[in-house]
């Protein structure tokens, strides 16, 4: 029989080396979520917009030549990009980029000072919602039974109290201001977070690693803080990003109806409330704070949608 040399044969298909090769680098859940978020251009644009608005609110009033409380009755309702010609003003010779209001106050400085107030209220209330909602929902969902029923009924009772009534009652007891709005919103704002966390915990506590932790003698507090809440983090983060625009809108609404920040302090809502009185004659006094509110809410909502898509494992490719 003729000997056939092996060089005349070629391997067809994958080799053992190719089958065992790593197709793509190993990524954790967070790394994979951040990778997908980085590919979402809309979410990245919204992040840049949020950072820009935050930086302007933080630093623009500091570097402005005008004081947001400074009144100049000889330079009232000045148009945009007008130059200050009042020699008694500290900003004499500087430009009013957004014009002035009915009392001659620089709108550019007041817009960013109002943005600082609105963002502080929104972020603070979101943090309070996160802490209270996660603890309350985690305890209710983990223990279940009678305790869960009692805690959920209590939650429904609190949720049944209209938000405006709480604000009005607090305004009668406390001084009107930023802290009163934060307390009022935080009183009922944590309820959606608590419900969300409870639902996640109820589903997660049936997992094997929870049973293993209980068998090893882990205490309920450790199981909730170390095992259950971290696994709800993706859903919670998305909820927080969506709670911030809700808080901004609530603050703007309260300030618009006169229950918000007292004068001479300002917020975007109070500036819109003052601007609507002169809308026909000086429309920019309303349009500028309205645009700031709309852009901030839109940016946070779109960023929240991007986070939700990034943290969804079903969308992984």
The predicted-structure confidence for 208-258, as pLDDT tens digits, reads as follows: 888 888 888 888 888 877 888 777 877 888 888 888 888 888 888 877 777
Question: Each residue of 29-71: pLDDT tens digit?
Answer: 677 777 888 888 888 999 999 999 999 999 988 888 888 888 8
Could you tell me the domains of the chain?
112-315 (1.10.3720.10)
Residue 299 CB neighbours (<10 A): 24
CA angle 229, 231, 235 (to 5 degrees): 90
CA distance 109 to 132: 35
Range of weakest confidence among 95-109, 138-152, 167-181, 272-286: 167-181
DSSP letter at 144 equals -
Q: Cβ distance 108 to 64 under 8 Å?
A: yes
Q: Find the range with the poorest average confidence among 95-99, 121-125, 309-313.
A: 309-313
**Residue 78 DSSP code:** P
3-state SS, 79-134, equals: CCCEECCCCCCCCCCCEECCCECCCCCEHHHHHHHHHHHHHHHHHHHHHHHHHHHH
SS3 for 206?
Answer: coil
Residue 14 is predicted with a pLDDT of: 63
Residues 250 and 163 sit within 8 Å (Cβ to Cβ): yes
Q: Which residues of 58-87 are buried (b: 16+ CB within 10 A; e: fewer)?
A: eebbeebebbbebebeebeebebeeebebe
pLDDT reported for residue 226: 80
Place of tokens 């106050």: 105
pLDDT tens readout for residues 3-24: 777 777 776 666 666 666 555 6
pLDDT at 138 over 90: no
């Amino acid at each position: 029989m003729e000997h056939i040399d092996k060089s005349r044969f070629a391997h067809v298909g994958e080799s053992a080396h190719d089958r065992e090769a790593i197709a793509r680098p190993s990524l954790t859940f967070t790394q994979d979520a951040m990778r997908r978020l980085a590919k979402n251009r809309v979410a990245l644009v919204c992040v840049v917009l949020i950072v820009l608005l935050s930086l302007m609110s933080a630093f623009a009033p500091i570097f402005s030549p005008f004081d947001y409380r400074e009144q100049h009755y000889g330079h009232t309702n000045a148009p945009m990009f007008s130059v200050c010609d009042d020699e008694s003003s500290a900003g004499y010779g500087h430009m009013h980029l957004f014009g002035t209001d009915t009392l001659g106050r620089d709108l550019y400085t007041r817009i960013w000072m109002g943005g600082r107030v609105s963002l502080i209220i929104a972020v603070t209330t979101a943090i309070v919602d996160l802490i209270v909602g996660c603890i309350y929902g985690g305890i209710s969902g983990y223990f279940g039974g009678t305790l869960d029923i009692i805690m959920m009924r209590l939650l429904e009772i609190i949720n049944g109290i209209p938000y405006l009534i709480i604000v009005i009652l607090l305004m009668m007891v406390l001084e009107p201001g930023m802290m009163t709005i934060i307390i009022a919103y935080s009183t009922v704002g944590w309820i959606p977070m608590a419900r969300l966390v409870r639902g996640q915990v109820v589903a997660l506590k049936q997992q094997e690693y929870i049973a293993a932790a209980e068998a090893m003698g882990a205490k309920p507090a450790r199981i909730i803080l170390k095992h259950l809440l971290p696994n709800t983090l993706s859903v919670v983060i998305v909820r927080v990003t969506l709670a911030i625009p809700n808080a901004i809108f609530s603050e703007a609404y309260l300030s618009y109806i006169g229950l918000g920040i007292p004068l001479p302090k300002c917020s975007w809502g109070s500036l819109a409330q003052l601007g609507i009185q002169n809308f026909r004659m000086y429309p920019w006094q309303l349009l500028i704070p309205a645009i700031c509110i709309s852009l901030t809410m839109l940016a946070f909502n779109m960023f929240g949608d991007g986070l939700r898509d990034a943290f969804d494992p079903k969308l992984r490719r």
